[in-house]
C-alpha cells in the first residue's frame, strides 16, 4: 500500500470532517463559522483534559499489572467485576471521550467487553456529579428512578454487547497492518525516552539520542513481552 493511500485511510474520519467544514463554509458561511467556534471550544477543552488522561493511562499501563486487571475486570471477575466497573464509572470525572483511552488500556490488560461497556455507560450517564445536578434541577425522585432504571439497563447492555462483540475483535484494531507490527520496533514519535525498555531488556533495546532503538530482535521471551507491555508510551510494537 502506498504511503499516501495509507495516510488517507488512517485519517479518513478527519478528512470527511474537513470536507464537511469546507462544504458548510461554501453553502452556509455563518453556520460554518458557528461550527468552527464550537469545535475550537471542544478542542481547547480536550487540550486541557487529554494530557491528564494520557498521563493516567500511561501510569495505569506501567504500574498496574495485567493480572490485577484480569482479576478485577476480566471475563472471570463475575458480578464483583461488574460492580467494580460501575463504581469506577460512577466516580469518574471528565467528559466521556476521556474514557476511551482508559478503556483501551483496560482492554489491553484483560478487561472484559461487558465490564468496559458498564464503565463507559456509567461514566456517560450516571456519574455522581451528574446525579447531584440532576437531583437539583429535576428533583431527587426523578434522579433516583432514572438512576435505577438506567443502571439496570447498563448491566443488561453490558451482557448483551459481550455476546455480540468479542474482545479479540476490538483488539485487532491495535494490531492492524500485521506485516509491520510483527517486526519488533520502537515508534520514535511515541517514545518519551524514559529508558525503561533498555533497563528491563538491555539485550534487546538501547538508548540513542534519548530514544529507544532495537538492537536485537531475535529474542521473543516472556521478559520481552513484559517490557513491551510496560512501555508507558506504548511505543514498542511487534512480537505480540
Reported as type and span, the H/E element at residue 214 is: strand 211-214
Task: Output 90 or 227, the one with its CB closest to ligand F3S.
Answer: 227
235 binds ligand F3S (CB under 6 A): yes
Question: Between 48 and 87, how does the x/- string for binding to ligand F3S read (CB under 6 A)?
Answer: ----------------------------------------
Segment contacting ligand F3S by CB under 6 A, of 65-73, 75-83, 145-153, 189-197: 189-197
Q: Of 153 and 226, which has the nearer Cβ to ligand F3S?
A: 226
Identified binder of ligand F3S from the candidate list 124, 193, 225, 229, rule CB under 6 A: 193
What are the cell numbers at 214?
532495537
**Minimum gap (Å) between residue 201 Cβ and ligand F3S:** 9
Q: In angstroms, what is the minimal distance from the CB of 227 to ligand F3S?
A: 7
DSSP SS3 for 160: helix
Contact 219, 210 (CB under 8 A): no
Sign of the dihedral defined by the CA atoms of residues 184, 185, 190, 193, in that order? positive
Residue 233 engages ligand F3S in binding (rule: CB under 6 A)? yes
Single residue of 104, 111, 117, 231 touching ligand F3S by CB under 6 A: 231
Q: Which residues of 75-113 are buried (b: 16+ CB within 10 A; e: fewer)?
A: eebeeebbebbbebbbebebeeebbebbbbbbbbbbbbb
Pick from 98, 103, 212, 224 the residue near ligand F3S by CB under 6 A: 212
**What would the grid cell of residue 51 be?**
494530557
Burial of 21 (0-12, 13-18, 19+ CB in 10 A): middle
Question: Does 124 engage in binding with ligand F3S (CB under 6 A)?
Answer: no
Q: Is 195 in the site for ligand F3S (CB under 6 A)?
A: yes
Q: Measuring CA to CA, which residue among 90, 96, 93 is closest to residue 42?
A: 96
Residues of this chain that interact with ligand F3S (CB under 6 A) are 186, 191-197, 212, 231-233, 235-236
Amino acid at each position: 500500500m502506498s504511503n499516501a493511500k495509507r495516510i488517507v485511510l488512517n485519517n479518513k474520519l478527519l478528512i470527511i470532517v474537513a470536507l464537511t467544514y469546507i462544504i458548510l463554509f461554501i453553502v452556509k458561511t455563518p453556520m460554518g463559522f458557528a461550527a468552527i467556534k464550537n469545535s475550537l471550544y471542544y478542542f481547547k477543552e480536550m487540550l486541557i483534559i487529554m494530557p491528564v488522561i494520557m498521563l493516567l493511562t500511561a501510569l495505569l499501563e506501567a504500574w498496574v499489572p495485567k493480572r490485577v486487571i484480569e482479576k478485577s475486570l476480566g471475563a472471570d471477575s463475575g458480578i464483583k467485576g461488574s460492580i467494580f466497573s460501575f463504581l469506577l464509572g460512577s466516580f469518574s470525572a471528565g467528559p466521556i471521550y476521556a474514557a476511551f483511552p482508559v478503556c483501551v488500556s483496560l482492554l489491553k490488560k484483560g478487561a472484559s467487553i461487558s465490564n468496559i461497556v458498564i464503565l463507559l455507560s456509567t461514566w456517560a450517564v450516571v456519574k455522581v456529579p451528574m446525579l447531584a445536578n440532576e437531583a437539583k434541577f429535576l428533583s431527587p425522585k426523578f434522579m433516583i428512578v432514572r438512576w435505577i432504571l438506567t443502571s439496570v439497563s447498563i448491566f443488561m447492555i453490558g451482557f448483551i454487547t459481550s455476546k455480540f462483540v468479542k474482545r479479540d475483535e476490538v483488539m485487532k484494531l491495535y494490531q492492524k497492518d500485521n506485516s509491520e507490527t510483527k517486526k519488533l520496533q520502537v515508534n520514535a514519535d511515541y517514545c518519551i525516552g524514559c529508558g525503561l525498555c533498555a533497563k528491563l531488556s538491555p539485550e534487546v533495546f538501547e538508548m540513542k539520542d534519548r530514544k529507544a532503538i532495537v538492537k536485537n530482535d531475535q529474542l521473543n521471551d516472556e521478559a520481552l513481552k513484559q517490557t513491551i507491555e510496560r512501555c508507558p508510551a506504548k511505543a514498542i510494537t511487534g512480537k505480540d
